[in-house]
Amino acid sequence: MREMQLHNDIARVLFSEEQLARRVAEMGKDIMRDYAHVEGGIVLLSVLRGAALFMADLARAIDLPLEMDYLAVSSYGNAAKSSGDVHLQKDVSSPIAGKHVIVAEDILDSGLTLSRVIDLLRERKPASVEVATLLRKQRPDQADVACKYVGFECPDEFIVGYGLDYAQRYRNLPYIGVLKPELIS
Ligand code: IMP
Ligand code: MG
């Protein structure tokens, strides 16, 4: 058996499995406090695929009735950078009108994808839309996206793990780390 195959590609660990678990539990408590008395129902929504792991853990940290739903988008244009020209590949499965939507996002980078997704969701007249992002990259040119819940601020480096991929790999790493630069082509 080849051990630590994925781990060998990581330059350094940014957030350990324990840190992630602790922070996600806190975010769940914050959400419970804010949504305990809302009417109309809560929908936890994730944008596939990166946020799926975070949402699965966040959902289990929220002891309130809620729906889980998913949408998938693709951004056209330059593949390395998001263009903000977002195309809906998969829509939500149930209507969100009148409901309190919490968008679970893995990482806010340029912010362009998320700001388009929020515009799109608002057209459906939900009772509210808020964002819970596990990570927010520190970059000065980030689009102005109001994130009510932020797990961690992180440096402007390419990171993988806990849902985040490089060329569709490393999503299953249990922690978040910086990929060795020589592996990025
Ligand atoms: P944005 O529109 O630039 O904010 O794009 C955000 C999306 O790009 C995230 O939901 C991730 O899927 C992806 N992304 C941004 N930065 C990273 C990174 O460092 N590693 C892996 N994926 C990333
Ligand atoms: Mg994503």
Query: Are 148 and 131 within 8 A, CB to CB?
Result: yes
Least confident of 6-15, 59-68, 77-86: 77-86
Whole-prediction pTM: 0.92
- Ordered by start, the domain boundaries in the chain are 17-156
Among the atoms of ligand 1, which is closest to the Cα of residue 105? 10
From the CA of 171, how far away is ligand 2's center (Å)? 11
What are the φ/ψ torsions at residue 35 (nearest 5 degrees)?
-115, 5
Give the number of the atom of ligand 1 that is nearest the alpha carbon of residue 111: 4
Q: Provide the pLDDT confidence category of residue 75 given band limits of 50, 70 and 90.
A: low
CA distance 46 to 118: 12
Handedness of CA 145, 148, 153, 159 (dihedral sign): negative
Most confident segment among 26-30, 83-87, 113-117, 178-182? 26-30
pLDDT of the residue at 128: 98
Secondary structure class of 173 (helix, strand, coil): coil
Could you tell me the pLDDT band of residue 41, with boundaries at 50, 70 and 90?
very high
CA of 18 to the centre of ligand 1 (A): 23
Q: State yes or no: pLDDT of 28 exceeds 70.
A: yes
Residue 165 Cα: closest atom of ligand 1:
21
Token match 């936890």: residue?
Answer: 44
Which of 107, 176, 179 has most ligand 1 atoms within 8 Å of its beta carbon, as the pocket-test mutant? 107
56 in helix, strand or coil?
A: helix
Topology of the domain covering 17-156: Rossmann fold (3.40.50)
Q: What pLDDT was estimated at residue 76?
A: 58
- Give the full edge-to-edge strand order of the sheet including 176-179: 10-15, 176-179, 159-160
In whole angstroms, give the CA distance from residue 147 to residue 141. 16
Tell me whether residue 106 is one of the annotated catalytic residues: no
Record the tokens describing residue 127, joined without a space. Answer: 């009772």
Token readout for 92 is 């939500």
Q: Residues 106-159: pLDDT tens digits?
A: 999 999 999 999 999 999 999 999 999 999 999 999 999 999 999 999 999 999
User: Quick check: 63 pLDDT over 90?
Assistant: yes
List all residues 6 or more positions away from 89 whose beta carbon is below 8 Å from its beta carbon: 72, 73, 74
125 Cα–ligand 1 center, Å: 27
